[in-house]
Amino acid sequence: MTNEHKINESKTSEYKTSEFEKLGISKELLRALNDEKFEKPTEIQELAIPLVLQGKDVIARASTGSGKTLAFGSTILQNTKRDYGIQSLILAPTRELAEQISKALKKFSKYASLNICAIYGGVSFNPQVEDLEYAEVVVGTPGRILDHLSRNTINLKHLKTLVLDEADRMLDMGFIDDVEKIISQCPKERQTLLFSATISQDILRLSKKYMKHQVEVSAEEYVDPTLLTQVYYDVDDNLKFSLLKHLLEHEDAKLVMVFCNTRKNVDFVANNLKFLGLESLPIHGGFSQEKRNRTMEQFNSKKTQVLVCTDIAARGLDIKGVSHIYNYNMPNDAKEYIHRIGRTARAGKEGKVINLISSRDHENFRSILKDDSLKIEALETPELERIPIRWIPEGRRGRDSRGGGRGSSFGGNSRGRESRGGYGRRDSRDRNDDRREYSRAPRHRTDSRDSRHRSSSRDRRPSSSRIGRSRF
């Protein structure tokens, strides 16, 4: 017997005796999991896979990165037949998540040879029509799926399984009406699976309306709080960017995500870091889908270590190896904060969250501190040199270069919704696929172009009169 045969027999034995086999997974899927070096099911996979394989409707609470795609993909891949039309539809809130799910399902189905396609806005419509003619599994965003339904370019009459992934995110983004319209056009006799990081009353109402004898399962948070360090610096408005630059240079980090509340702030931070020789990648809904895909591929390959992003990247995307999260702008509440910090301290790795709190962040930060489960330590702001601002958006240079008045939103926060620029001519539903990249925080001044200032090394811990109840 050749060594090659021995190796093949060893691999066969490995997947046949794996812990995944005990869940009832097919041999073809076990082979694919073995190829991808899957060794042990995650908690949500152990809880959900046996139920979904029995054909039950399931509500699963699980965070990003917990293995949800395989949990719902197991029944899809085992019960889908080639050339029988679209039998499974997975709805996702963002294009990136739809693309990610599609790629994962293609890997899992390598021995089943299924036609799987991702359908979302921001790209050409006609190639999607061709893909849908041959697809058995469709992953899509609600807006673009509705477009295809309205034009009769997608046929759901053979649908067996409907999945709502990141359901809470879809509701937060205002997709509830679109989702219900899509459900109304699905066969009543189907399996419905709902996966969500949180189970709100709206989620429960949706499940009661459209699911039958649903079973609820819940996995523990994927982020290990014992490995997560959370700190904040209370910093002067005009030193905020300078502090970010200082920390990026001095923290021992691997992959870093810097969260901003608006597209303009993403551009502001990323471009000014670039002028300082700190390579970073910006990503937000204003970029074309092709550019967003390239950005995520570059970041996941670790060619560039810093990603500056809006909340569009906070949910759904499984980005491995993130060691540091920076909140350049604070999110509105604890829920969004938890979604952001869930990118780090995963799978047994340590992580650190650094919050940059300037005067206009106090209201949001006070709201976040109401969650007693969050332990955020105050740190003394180091001595800083005020960094000159090299990049300011067109149309603002005259005013902002003189120091940035109170009305400037660059480098700070903005109460208004994000600009919708950068999409070109697109259907309204396509624009909605990325709407509401939360930008409701107040504004403050940006750094000056040419002034210099050194902060004292005093403790910048906010007083109760400024931020509210102190717990530190």
Q: Does domain 3-218 have CATH number 3.40.50.300?
A: yes
Distance CA 148, CA 133 (A): 12
Residues 6+ away with beta carbon under 8 Å from 87: 76, 79, 80, 81, 136, 137, 158, 159, 160, 161
User: Which position has the higher pLDDT, 326 or 439?
Assistant: 326
| Cβ proximity of 335 and 291 under 8 Å | no
Q: What is the pLDDT of residues 141-193, one digit of tens each?
A: 999 999 999 999 999 999 999 999 999 989 988 999 999 999 999 999 999 99
Distance CA 373, CA 84 (A): 49
Q: For position 442, what pLDDT does the model report?
A: 36
3-state secondary structure of 124: coil
Question: For the chain, which residues make up each domain, given as ranges?
Answer: 3-218, 225-432
Would you say the C-alpha torsion 356, 362, 364, 370 has a positive or negative sign? positive
Q: What is the pLDDT of residues 344-356, one digit of tens each?
A: 887 678 999 999 9
Residue 458 burial (C-beta neighbours within 10 Å; 0-12, 13-18, 19+): exposed
Residue 276 DSSP code: T
Architecture of domain 225-432: 3-Layer(aba) Sandwich (3.40)
The mean per-residue pLDDT over the stretch 11-31 comes to 75
| 325 has a pLDDT exceeding 70 | yes
| 19 has a pLDDT exceeding 70 | yes
Distance CA 318, CA 312 (A): 13
DSSP labels for 329-378? Answer: S--SSHHHHHHHHTTSSBTT--EEEEEEE-GGGHHHHHHHTT-TT---EE
The mean per-residue pLDDT over the stretch 222-236 comes to 88
Strand partners, 351: 228
| 323 has a pLDDT exceeding 50 | yes
Q: For position 1, what pLDDT does the model report?
A: 45
Nearest to 389 by CA among 306, 326, 452: 452
What's the N-to-C CA distance of the chain in angstroms?
67
The mean per-residue pLDDT over the stretch 292-305 comes to 91
The mean per-residue pLDDT over the stretch 289-316 comes to 85
Q: What is the pLDDT of residues 382-424, one digit of tens each?
A: 999 999 999 987 755 554 443 333 334 445 444 333 333 332 3
Q: For position 472, what pLDDT does the model report?
A: 35
User: Tokens representing 136?
Assistant: 């058995």
Distance CA 170, CA 172 (A): 5
Sheet containing 351-357: order of strands: 281-283, 306-309, 255-259, 322-327, 351-357, 228-234, 377-379
Q: For position 416, what pLDDT does the model report?
A: 35
Mean pLDDT of the chain: 82
Q: What share of the chain is helix, strand, coil (3-state, %, to 5)?
A: 40, 15, 50
The mean per-residue pLDDT over the stretch 221-225 comes to 69
Q: For position 27, what pLDDT does the model report?
A: 92
Q: What percent of the chain shows pLDDT beyond 90?
A: 62
3-state secondary structure of 71: helix
